Amino acid sequence: MQNFAYTPDEIASMFKISKNTVYELIKRGELNAFKVGNKMRIEPEEVERFKHSMQASSPKANQNRTSHAANHSLLLAGSHDFLVEQLVSYAASESAGLTISPSYIGSLEGLMMLYREAADIAAVHLLDPTSREYNLPFIRQLFVHEKITVVRLASREQGLIVAKGNPKNILSFKDLARKDVSFINRQKGSGTRFLFDSFLSAENIQPEDIRGYNKEEWNHLAAASHINRGSADAVFGVKFAAGQLGLDFIPVTKEQFDLVFRWTDDNKTKLEHLLDLLHFTTFKDCVMKLEGYDASQFGEIIFQYD
C-alpha cells in the first residue's frame, strides 16, 4: 500500500509555482487531493497524471506550447475579470480557430507564468505603491529582453461591496475594523488584494484589526456572494460584481486592467489575430455595456518592447 503523499508546499516547489496556485488547482478540481486532519495531501499517481494533463504550470513550456499551437490555443494567466471572460467567449464564437484557455490565478502569478514562458498572455491590474502607476513598473522589472506588448482593456471601478441598503452603515475602510463588521478578502497575489492592502497601509489600519482579513476567495463573485449568504458584511471588489448580485457599492478608486502579450515564433499569428479582434471587431460594444467599466482607452497599446 502506498503511504507516501506530497504536501502542497512540495507540489509548489516541484512545479515552481506558488502554494496559492496549488490550492487554486485543487479548488478547481484540476489537481485531486485528500485531507489528513486539516492538511491537504496529493498522491504520487495524481502528480504523474497532472504532469501530463496540466504542463502549463511548468516553467519549461516547450512541450506545452507545441501542444497548444497544434490546438490553435492561447494560454492566458492572471486576474479573473468579467471582461476577460467576455473576451474568451467572443474569441471562440467570432473567430474560427482561436481559442483562449484562461487560468485565473491572480495578477502577480499570471505575470510570473508569462515570465517563465508558461503562458502567452497575462491579465493584470497591479498598483505599484511607490509610483501609484498600474502594471508597467512590474512589467519593466520582469521583462528586459523579451518582446512584450501591453494592451489596455479598460478602467474599472473598485470599492466596498455591502448588503442592499447598507444596513451596517459601512462607508470607509475604517468601518471594516469595527467589531460588528465581518470581511472576506481576496487571495494573496491578486491585484485586488494588492490594492486593498495599499489602502489599509495609507489608512494605518492593521490587518489583524479586520475580522475576516485572512478568509480568502479567488474571484469577485465568490467573495461578494458571502454577503448574500450572510457570512460577511463587506468585501472589496468591482462594481460589476455588486450589480450582478443586487448589492450596494461604495466607490473607492478606478484602476487600469491590461493584457500583456509575450511574443514567440509559436504564438505570433494567434496574438496578431487577437489584436485584430480587439481593434477591428464589435467586441468593444460588449465592454461598453458592462457596469463599472470605462472603455475609452480600449485596445490601445500603452507599452511595447521589441
- pLDDT given at position 156: 96
Residue whose C-alpha cell reads 456572494 in the numeric block: 225
- pLDDT given at position 62: 41
- Tally of CB atoms within 10 A around 256: 22
Residue whose C-alpha cell reads 512590474 in the numeric block: 138
Most confident by average pLDDT, 158-162, 186-190, 266-270: 158-162
Distance CA(166)–CA(15), nearest Å, equals 44
Calculate mean pLDDT across residues 173-177.
Answer: 98
Distance CA(33)–CA(58), nearest Å, equals 19
Lowest mean pLDDT among 40-49, 55-64, 175-184, 268-277: 55-64
Res. 191: pLDDT tops 80: yes
Lowest mean pLDDT among 1-5, 136-140, 288-292: 1-5
Lowest mean pLDDT among 41-45, 71-75, 187-191: 71-75
213-229, pLDDT tens digit by residue?
999 999 999 999 999 99
4-57, pLDDT tens digit by residue?
888 988 887 787 666 766 776 787 677 888 888 778 888 888 888 877 764 444
Looking at 163-265, which runs of residues are DSSP E strands?
183-186, 216-217, 234-238, 248-262
Mean of all residue pLDDT scores within the chain: 88
Quickly count helices (H) and strands (E) in the chain: 12, 12
Residues 183, 211 contacting (CB under 8 angstroms): yes
- Tally of CB atoms within 10 A around 4: 7
Distance CA(296)–CA(176), nearest Å, equals 33
Distance CA(53)–CA(42), nearest Å, equals 15
* Domain residue spans of the chain: 8-53, 58-144+260-283, 157-254
75-109, pLDDT tens digit by residue?
999 999 999 999 998 898 855 468 999 999 999 99
Distance CA(113)–CA(36), nearest Å, equals 30
Domains 58-144+260-283 and 157-254 share a fold: yes
pLDDT confidence bin for 73, thresholds 50/70/90: confident
Query: What does pTM read for this prediction?
Result: 0.78
| Rama region for 32: left / alpha / beta (φ>0; ψ in -120 to 50; rest) | beta
Domain at 157-254: CATH code: 3.40.190.10
* Rg of the chain on CA atoms, in Å: 20
- pLDDT given at position 20: 64
* Highest CATH level, class, for 58-144+260-283: alpha beta
Query: HSE on the CB side for 274, CA within 13 Å?
Result: 30
Calculate mean pLDDT across residues 276-287.
Answer: 85
